[in-house]
Amino acid sequence: MTASNDQPPAHARRRPVALVTGTAAALGLAAVSLAGPARAASTLTVAKDGSGMYTTVQAAVNAASAGDTISIAKGTYQEIVNVPTTKTGLTLKGATGNSEDVVITYDRAAGYTDSSGNKYGTLGSSVATFSANNLTVTGLTVQNTFNKDAHPDITDTQAVAVTAQGDRQTFRNDRFISRQDTVLNWAPSATGQYRQYFSSSFVTGDVDFIFGNATAVYDRVNIQLRDSGAAAGGLNGFLAAPDTSSAKTYGILVTGSSITSSAAANTYYLGRPWHPTSDAVGQLVIRQTSLPPAVKTAGPWTDMSGYSWKNARFFEYKNTGAGAGVNSNRPQLTDSQAASYTAQKYLAGTDGWSPVG
């Protein structure tokens, strides 16, 4: 699980020469401003049947300017979507408001190869990559349809649906579907400020399907643990795999949510610490969330690649449901500690960002 983000080069800007107001008055001329009027944001429409301005989402993204809205008509769009860092303030929304109506989908895994014979890797497997700051995505489904059972020759089975790798990104009323590595919350600079807020949405998978090193909040989200067929007490999968930098206080928070599953009892871990770099000390809190019987109640955390979960920063707080419990293998926040691990605290950052509500 490696990722990178190539930043575009900065372009020099020629500063316009302004006509000084006093000089203009002395010449009997009106002062002239060389600054043009601010550009009004536009709405670009996408429809597969040709009734919109574009027939693919990516074509609309390419044409959009910062601050624009892309409205996507009902339909299934089989494509890879990339929103670059230059498209700040962009909004992508499903035109109907029902996320099941507007589906962006593709079949791609980390082990697939491109035209040059190179593997895509985890980040390259992503169906939708959102790199721009101040992004809003609402009313959409993003699905990676890779099926490892149909591809026994593929050993790198990571299949990302969404890579969120910008700051102040908001995802509301969306669905994100895959199996392994569904949503990557990524900080291209491990210690940089990259915050992502997921609200009133649906996320499903089976292996490390919420993961990464960014600061991400899942607030009132329906998280589904997929049934891979393991018998009770066996292993179906792992919900989360954070690799938060030790320099960061906040990693991933799941709060006020519902975790559901039809999988057999005691077959899922809530998380394990991804440790790809020496400074990665995964941070994850699951609080005031309903847990299903599929969660391993005796100990919902586990080691990863030789790195102990006890060295990570994993906590629960006032969870409910058949999968909830308190024991020595389930560290709990105290009431006073919990006050510092809220959605608002995770997202405030250095600028007081407050998308919650």
Q: Which residues are catalytic?
A: 181, 208
The span from the CA of 75 to the CA of 52, in Å, is 12
Whole-angstrom CA distances from 346 to 202, 251, 313, 355 are 20, 8, 14, 11
How many CB atoms within 10 Å of residue 139?
21
Whole-angstrom CA distances from 103 to 72, 75, 197, 330 are 9, 6, 20, 38
Which residue, 181, 195, 192, is CA-closest to 121? 181
Whole-angstrom CA distances from 9 to 12, 82, 86, 214 are 10, 18, 11, 23
**With contact defined as beta carbons under 8 Å apart, do 145 and 127 qualify?**
no
Whole-angstrom CA distances from 14 to 7, 19, 102 are 21, 16, 42
SS3 state at 78: strand
Eight-state DSSP code of residue 92: E
